[in-house]
């Protein structure tokens, strides 16, 4: 595997889920596979789970890991072609990616969107530049538009917990004080659209995801109706795609609480974390027995390990 930037890079998403679940049972079964190989983890934005779980996954495979917070410790990167570099950006991504590729056998990269220029963000320039110029396989640790390692862990969690073949999975928008990327919901929608689950997305009007990403998901503007009979509730805030990067609603009634969860079919509560308590979800739901957010985060280690394993096997 030469790149892992979205589910489109995977021919058998559920096969990869199975592989990740089997690594979870024996994490050290391939602990020599990555011997003498180096993984570089490059962060332009903050991270807790992604950084630690990917580092742990690499260690389970016997790899060496180098981590750099380029956002704070590196040069600001230029991404435009043919510009006079007389701004605050000291290094072009062409050289930066190629140089990091000299030191690493695989590169993981996190780069959030600017949320001002939709066309630019949706070209996913930084991750695609690393794919183009680094000369080594590249893993998205959340790009401007997708977070595939998260979605793989989400799908693992649903597969572990589902009580029937085609569970009802609901992706629900919730309010936030900041404009956040669409990466997590975009990615979740794309991965769930590869399954035979019943898939509903609920959000206030104006928060529609890009049509080709939402795909065949049912859109339901009435959150209570969406929650009826749901087996899994995945809650996440995102800013508007249509009115790009804008916060169109701060409606507190979209927060997930016990009353809303009581409409579901004993539904499990999911979130990628970090989650803001009593803004996105009530304490009661997050601390309650139906919350599976810690299991989800635990699965991040094995989603990263399954992807790294396939990449190493393809080197």
Among 209, 272, 293, 306, binds ligand SN0 (CB under 6 A): 272
Q: Are 222 and 202 in contact (CB under 8 A)?
A: yes
Q: Are 282 and 258 in contact (CB under 8 A)?
A: yes
Do β-strands 218-220 and 3-4 pair in parallel, antiparallel, or remain unpaired? unpaired
Instruction: Show contacts with ligand SN0 in window 17-46 (CB under 6 A).
Output: none
Tell whether residue 178 is a contact of ligand SN0 (CB under 6 A). Answer: yes
Q: Are 148 and 155 in contact (CB under 8 A)?
A: no
Measured between alpha carbons, how far is residue 223 from residues 34, 233, 235, 247, 293 in Å? 46, 11, 11, 18, 21
Residue closer to ligand SN0, measured from CB, 89 or 276: 276
CA distance 7 to 19: 15
Sign of the torsion angle spanned by Cα atoms 108, 118, 184, 247: positive
Measured between alpha carbons, how far is residue 11 from residues 239, 269, 299, 303 in Å? 30, 28, 21, 16
Among 57, 63, 138, 184, binds ligand SN0 (CB under 6 A): 184
Provide the minimum distance between the beta carbon of 306 and ligand SN0 in the complex, in angstroms, as a whole number: 19
Provide the minimum distance between the beta carbon of 116 and ligand SN0 in the complex, in angstroms, as a whole number: 16
Provide the minimum distance between the beta carbon of 57 and ligand SN0 in the complex, in angstroms, as a whole number: 17
Among 73, 274, 294, 314, binds ligand SN0 (CB under 6 A): 274
Provide the minimum distance between the beta carbon of 158 and ligand SN0 in the complex, in angstroms, as a whole number: 18
Q: Are 293 and 3 in contact (CB under 8 A)?
A: no
What number of chain residues touch ligand SN0 (CB under 6 A)? 8
Token pair recorded at residue 100: 């990091």
Tell whether residue 181 is a contact of ligand SN0 (CB under 6 A). Answer: yes
Tell whether residue 276 is a contact of ligand SN0 (CB under 6 A). Answer: yes
Measured between alpha carbons, how far is residue 154 from residues 94, 110, 147, 181, 296 in Å? 33, 19, 11, 18, 6
Selected range binding ligand SN0 among 34-42, 212-220, 272-280, 292-300, rule: CB under 6 A:
272-280
Among 183, 235, 282, 296, binds ligand SN0 (CB under 6 A): 183
Report the half-sphere exposure of 4 (CA within 13 A, side-chain side): 31
Selected range binding ligand SN0 among 58-66, 181-189, 199-207, 226-234, rule: CB under 6 A:
181-189
* Of residues 76, 63, 73, the one with CA closest to residue 33: 63
Tell whether residue 164 is a contact of ligand SN0 (CB under 6 A). Answer: no
Provide the minimum distance between the beta carbon of 252 and ligand SN0 in the complex, in angstroms, as a whole number: 16
Residue closer to ligand SN0, measured from CB, 85 or 177: 177
Provide the minimum distance between the beta carbon of 70 and ligand SN0 in the complex, in angstroms, as a whole number: 17
Binding site for ligand SN0 (CB under 6 A): 178, 180-181, 183-184, 272, 274, 276
């Amino acid at each position: 595997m030469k790149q892992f930037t979205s589910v489109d890079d995977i021919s058998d998403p559920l096969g990869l889920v199975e592989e990740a679940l089997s690594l979870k049972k024996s994490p050290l079964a391939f602990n020599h596979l990555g011997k003498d190989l180096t993984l570089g983890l490059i962060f332009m934005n903050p991270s807790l789970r992604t950084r630690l779980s990917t580092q742990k996954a690499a260690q389970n495979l016997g790899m060496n890991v180098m981590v750099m917070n380029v956002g704070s410790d590196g040069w600001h990167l230029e991404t435009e072609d043919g510009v006079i570099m007389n701004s605050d950006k000291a290094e072009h991504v062409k050289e930066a990616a190629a140089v990091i590729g000299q030191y690493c056998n695989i590169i993981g990269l996190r780069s959030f969107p600017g949320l001002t220029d939709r066309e630019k963000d949706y070209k996913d320039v930084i991750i695609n530049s690393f794919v183009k110029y680094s000369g080594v396989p590249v893993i998205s640790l959340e790009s401007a538009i997708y977070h595939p390692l998260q979605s793989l862990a989400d799908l693992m969690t649903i597969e572990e917990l589902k009580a029937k073949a085609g569970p009802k999975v609901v992706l629900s928008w919730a309010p936030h004080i900041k404009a956040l990327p669409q990466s997590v919901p975009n990615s979740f929608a794309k991965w769930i659209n590869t399954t035979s689950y019943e898939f509903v997305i609920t959000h206030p009007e104006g928060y529609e995801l890009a049509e080709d990403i939402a795909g065949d998901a049912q859109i339901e503007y009435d959150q209570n109706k969406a929650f009826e009979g749901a087996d899994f509730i995945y809650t996440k805030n995102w800013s508007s795609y249509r009115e790009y990067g804008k916060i169109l609603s701060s409606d507190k009634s979209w927060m997930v609480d016990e009353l809303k969860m009581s409409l579901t079919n004993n539904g499990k509560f999911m979130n990628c974390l970090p989650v803001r308590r009593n803004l996105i979800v009530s304490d009661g739901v997050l601390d309650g027995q139906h919350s599976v957010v810690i299991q989800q985060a635990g699965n991040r280690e094995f989603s990263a390990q399954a992807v790294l394993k396939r990449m190493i096997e393809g080197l």
